Structure 1
Amino acid sequence: MAHPANTYSLVADIGGTNTRVALADGRQIITGTIRRYSNAKFAGLETVLRKYIEDEDGVDPIAACVAVAGPVRDGQATMTNLDWTIDRETLMRATSAETVSILNDLQAQGHALGHIDTANIRTIVDGPAGHDNAAKLVVGIGTGFNIAPVFDLESGRIVTPSESGHANLPIRNEMELRLCQFVSTAHGFPAVEDVLSGRGIERVYAFLGKEADDPKERSAKDIMAACNDGSDPRAVEAAKLFSGILGTVCGNLSLIQLPFGGVYLVGGVARAFAPHLTAFGFADAFRDKGRFAGFMGNFAVHVIEDDYAALTGSAAHLMALSGQN
């Protein structure tokens, strides 16, 4: 079915393995237009987007925004696991759109806040409701780890990028020190995402095997499945250790950013852990800040369970660029 020209926006969420593309009518994603493409089958983003436009009967978008799993600087994105050129010129050439933008994927998630169905937001730590313009914090836990602070100013929303997953992992006790030493073999030092990510939970599981003198490896998917059905006590122990460290890191980040408007966990690993975080000690670790423990009650923590939030955020960002906040 042909789409009207210069009416819809094209939005894309580019991961290391797949790219999802959709059309948006204002901030609303047109769900029937969402398509997924395997990156391995394409030479670059331009060929993906041209294929999408062909699949959508030659749609002529008025604007385009892509969210990229990697740092964006001066209109150009780089991705750790994907050798693609992603820049404004490529995006304009591929889509013929009048307005184009490139965001880090966590920035896109930040722009989605306030435009997500509340049914897709799970609260795991209660806190007072902040005023509409209170700072917020998006924390992404998936293939990697990263954050994006969200500031709503009179001039509009600002979502600042970061590479927080590459900061040093905090240490609270002797076991966590040994865990840091165990994971530091990956990159020469213990980074946050060496533990708080999909591959991170696999490392925690392997570490516990070493601690028990019973080395064993399992995939993140299998660890969570075993945690859900209780078939592997080590999987449960790994999830508890993971949840406590995640609580500590999120608490530290909250003291740095003061997100009185809430902390929002996003990503596949965050969604998988959501049913367990409360029981596995996330809230206790989040608030374990000594004399500031009471102050930590100012920050609510939620999990966003909308898998298309980055697409919604990209659409919302384009609306803001057009002056429609």
Structure 2
Amino acid sequence: MSSLILAGDIGATKTILALYDTTGDTSDTSSSERHNNAQGGLLTEKTFRNKEFSGLPELITTFLADQEGRPAWACFGVAGPVRDNRVHMTNLDWSVNGPALAAQFAMDAVLLVNDLVATTAGALHLPKESLVPLNQGQVDRGGSIGVLAVGTGLGQAFALPLANRFQPFPTEGGHASFAPRNQEQIGLLQFLLASLEQQQQPPHVSVEQVCSGMALPTLYAFQLTRYQEPEWMQKKRLTAPPDALTPLIIEAADATLTGALPCEPAVQAVLLLLDILAAEAANFTLKTLATGGIFLGGGMLPRLLAHIDRTHFMKIFCRGVYRDMLANIPVFIITEPKTALIGARQLAMQTKL
């Protein structure tokens, strides 16, 4: 019987696949050695651009073409809501069917999970070197953990301690309504509602629309109603393609910090995003009672570390009736870019066991 497992992180634009030999690996999340085996047995790993493939079956075929062995189990973290081990991806026109993949590639089982479920499973296996603490707090070993990932969108998931291991669960909390917390954010909501009214769209603003990579250009446009845009930035912005706006705004905010080329709207847009994240992280903590800790992942936050004021973040995080409890919650930023892949490996291992 094959000891190989296939793990994958399938996003809107790219897919990472990895093949592992798990001979002798019996690690699970209850083990005190769990951090040591996160990437154990890695044989090969490749990244693919999704637009070059018709779907996941073609991509897997390409990946396995030059591999000697064949995996018996697989787990894929997929950006979309998984139901009955099937999913139609949110920002990519791919439908993925777990049982069909298992049959096509002669595997014992193929497990599909939401990408945030994979990220949550991976977060449990990260070494401390991959975590930047915003608040050390006090870990409640019997409490749940929460994960929010600021990438293209805003993913949210949590894990409960069940049967001597943490079991991750998906949510679509990023699509819940945005709740402004001060006059600036009320102005932002009014700005977005006016835009929706002009487009004759339903008056709903989700938290993802104001706290994600795709939200940053919107936050910047709002800050242009409050701050003067420098001429150099205006020229760059007006000639940049849509998918280049978010990195451009981050670069402008970084340049402002160093004093190279000031751009106040960029800095304020980034700070607004981080303020909204702090409040939403607190909301999610309360809804899931994540006394085991909050992990903030996704590709955006490691790029914004220079802009994060830990004291200010936690002042927003610790509010309301349970401010004292919130002040004791560990909060970490994940810097490991392959957390979802690590989680997919661990979930595939559980399927094997």
By the TM > 0.5 criterion, same fold?
Answer: yes
| Conserved? CA contact 1:29–1:312, under 8 Å | no
SS in 1 for 2:9: strand
Distance change in 2, residues 1:43/1:280 (3 Å): farther
RMSD: 2.1
Distance 1:236 1:30 in 2: 43
Distance 2:311 2:329 in 1: 19
Q: TM-score, normalised by structure 2?
A: 0.83
Distance 1:262 1:275 in 2: 22
Q: Which residue of 1 aligns with 2:14?
A: 18
Q: Which residue of 2 aligns with 1:261?
A: 292
Greater displacement, 221-230 / 211-220: 211-220
How does 1:163-312 map onto structure 2 within 5 Å? 163-184=172-193, 185=195, 188=202, 189-212=204-227, 217=237, 219-230=245-256, 231=261, 232-278=263-309, 281-287=312-318, 289-312=319-342
Distance 1:82 1:49 in 2: 17
Matched, 1:322 2:352: yes
Q: Which residue of 2 aligns with 1:33?
A: 44
Deviation at 1:236, TM superposition (A): 1.3
Deviation at 1:30, TM superposition (A): 5.1
Q: Number of matched residues?
A: 316
What is the identity percentage for the equivalent residue pairs of Structure 1 and Structure 2?
29
SS in 2 for 1:47: helix
Distance 1:291 1:303 in 2: 25
Identify unmatched segments of 5+ residues in structure 2: 23-37
2:117 partner letter: Q
Distance change in 2, residues 1:155/1:322 (3 Å): farther
Deviation at 1:282, TM superposition (A): 1.8
Q: Which residue of 2 aligns with 1:6?
A: 2
Give a deviation string over 1:9-46, Cα, whole Å, max 9, x none: 10111111111100123452555611011111111110
Q: Which residue of 1 aligns with 2:74?
A: 64
Deviation at 1:283, TM superposition (A): 1.6
Q: Which residue of 1 aligns with 2:54?
A: 43
Deviation at 1:229, TM superposition (A): 2.6
1:97 partner letter: M
Q: Which residue of 1 aligns with 2:120?
A: 110
2:283 partner letter: N
| Conserved? CA contact 1:23–1:33, under 8 Å | yes
Distance 2:145 2:190 in 1: 33
1:84 partner letter: W
Distance change in 2, residues 1:157/1:95 (3 Å): farther
Distance change in 2, residues 1:228/1:25 (3 Å): farther
How does 1:105-144 map onto structure 2 within 5 Å? 105-131=115-141, 133-144=142-153
1:271 partner letter: P
Distance 1:202 1:286 in 2: 24
Distance 1:95 1:155 in 2: 32
| Conserved? CA contact 1:29–1:311, under 8 Å | no
Q: TM-score, normalised by structure 1?
A: 0.90
| Conserved? CA contact 1:107–1:159, under 8 Å | yes
Deviation at 1:315, TM superposition (A): 1.1
Deviation at 1:321, TM superposition (A): 2.4
| Conserved? CA contact 2:99–2:110, under 8 Å | no
1:276 partner letter: H
1:9 partner letter: I
1:164 partner letter: G
1:19 partner letter: T
SS in 1 for 2:170: coil
Matched, 1:146 2:155: yes
Distance 2:213 2:81 in 1: 20
SS in 1 for 2:8: strand
| Conserved? CA contact 1:49–1:94, under 8 Å | no
Give a deviation string over 1:127-155, Cα, whole Å, max 9, x none: 11222x42100111101012111112126
Give a deviation string over 1:24-80, Cα, whole Å, max 9, x none: 23452555611011111111110000100013x243002111110111011111112
Identify unmatched segments of 5+ residues in structure 1: none
